[in-house]
Structure 1
Amino acid sequence: MVITLVGEKLAKPGAEFIYYGPADPCKSCRLARVCVGNLEPGRRYKVVRVRNIEHSCPLHEGKVRVVEVVEPAIEIAIEPRIAIVGSKIKLSFVDCSDPEKQNLVRPEGLFEGDSVKILEILGDFECDGKKYKLARVMREKE
């Protein structure tokens, strides 16, 4: 669980966001260490708890709230031979030329080489004549 600050509109349990890095005003903000300092650029986060603390912020319509976030499970296409529920694998993106399926072969929030645990197999996935498994995975932190 990570403590961070998010804009008031995003401060709802279940809300997800991808952190892309600090904006210019964040670099001189006194709250930057707890706000953006706890997040990793390119990762997906999910708000699990909203605390009753708010601060002023020039970026988020004037206010940010203190929240607890986690990295959520993410759906991704993987090779069938490694699609075993409960196993931990080093993530290797599969090839797929269909632009509409890119969110399942290279989902935002995961990077090639990440260590992930396979939580669930959701079904089959096909692209470019190859069959894959659609899995829900959770990143394992080193």
Structure 2
Amino acid sequence: MITLIGTNLAKKGLVFTFNGGAKKCESCRFSNTCLNLEKGRKYEITEVKKVTHKCPVHKDGRVQTIEVKPATIRAAIETRKAYHGSTIIFRTEECEEECENYDICHPEGLYDDDTCKIEEIGPKLSCKNNYDLTEVILNH
């Protein structure tokens, strides 16, 4: 996918979460290109193009053309579903925010009922709520 990002952020391999545009973006002629990503999702820059445009929103006053792909996401899933290469329907567990695993159990960029492929299997996790969880890397 082609999109635009502030020139100071345009670096191959950068992972970012798209949070939507500013009020000023609505009337911009580049809004269809700049705001074409899904809000709340994580993306990885795969290529940085030479083309730049003026932008009143970004710090350095310019945006750069980039190519992105959905980023892989570290998450916790039920151990019984953790098989490398398999496809799962992601769902969060009901748990407490104070838990040390909260961020991995509720990862930014994933929503309940997302279809994901398991790219890597990590260690088993300890859980205050006694869920049998394993850390995985998911591709949405």
- Normalising by structure 1, report the TM-score: 0.92
Matches within 5 A, 1:53-92: 53-61=51-59, 62-92=61-91
Give the aligned residue type for 1:21: G
The DSSP-based 3-state class of the residue aligned with 1:103 is: helix
Instruction: Check conservation: 2:5, 2:34, Cα contact below 8 A.
Output: yes
Instruction: Check conservation: 1:79, 1:94, Cα contact below 8 A.
Output: no
1:134 is aligned to 135
Give the aligned residue type for 2:64: R
Cα RMSD between the aligned structures? 1.1
Instruction: Check conservation: 2:77, 2:133, Cα contact below 8 A.
Output: yes
1:107 aligns with 2:120: no
1:23 is aligned to 22
- For residues 66-124 of structure 1, what are the alpha-carbon distances to aligned partners after superposition, in whole Å with 9 as ceiling and x for unaligned? 00011111110000111111111111112332344222011111111000001110111
2:121 is aligned to 121
Give the aligned residue type for 1:50: V
Percent pairwise identity: 38
Give the aligned residue type for 1:54: T
- Normalising by structure 2, report the TM-score: 0.93
Instruction: Check conservation: 2:72, 2:138, Cα contact below 8 A.
Output: yes
CA distance in 2, matches of 1:20, 1:80: 31
CA distance in 2, matches of 1:6, 1:111: 24
1:3 aligns with 2:2: yes
CA distance in 1, matches of 2:23, 2:41: 19
Number of residue pairs aligned between Structure 1 and Structure 2: 137
The DSSP-based 3-state class of the residue aligned with 2:85 is: coil
